[in-house]
Amino acid sequence: MSDKDLMDQEEIFSKVLRAGRRTYFFDVRSTKAEDYYLTITESKKFTHDDGSFHYKKHKIYLYKEDFESFREIMEEMMDYIITEKGQEVISERHQKDFKKDEPSPNGEASSTDNFTDLDFDDI
């Protein structure tokens, strides 16, 4: 059996989730004993200064005997995050925007404090 035939036999069902620089691959695969397991692969794109790029991949293998415990813990963790922090997503980009409004460590006003309040009648 060729490598391609072996690969076709192992990959049963797949889904892809694209999320910004990250892509998640969910693949149902077959063991040699013809049972199924799940692989979850995170692939993250990194760009170099010269414009070239590479991907870093991390993979989890999840077997049927662990499904129920994994699902329970995953749901508990996601519920905890939503309960504690809500649905709103606060990214690093947003964090930088928040920091503009805070005073600097030396007590100086932030750049947004230097704006003058204008009314359109003033123009």
Is the pTM for the entire model greater than 0.85?
Answer: no
Sheet of 53-63: strand order equals: 11-19, 22-30, 36-47, 53-63
**What's the pLDDT score for residue 88?**
87
pLDDT at 8: 45
Pick left, alpha or beta for residue 20 (phi over 0 → left; psi -120 to 50 → alpha; otherwise beta): left
**pLDDT tens-digit map of 44-96:** 988 888 988 888 999 999 999 999 999 999 999 999 999 999 988 877 655 55
24 exposed, middle or buried (CB, 10 Å; 0-12, 13-18, 19+)?
middle
Q: Is the pLDDT of residue 23 over 50?
A: yes
Say if residues 40 and 28 touch (Cβ distance below 8 Å): no
Q: Which domains does the chain have, with CATH numbers?
A: 7-102 (3.10.450.700)
Q: What does the pLDDT read at residue 101?
A: 52
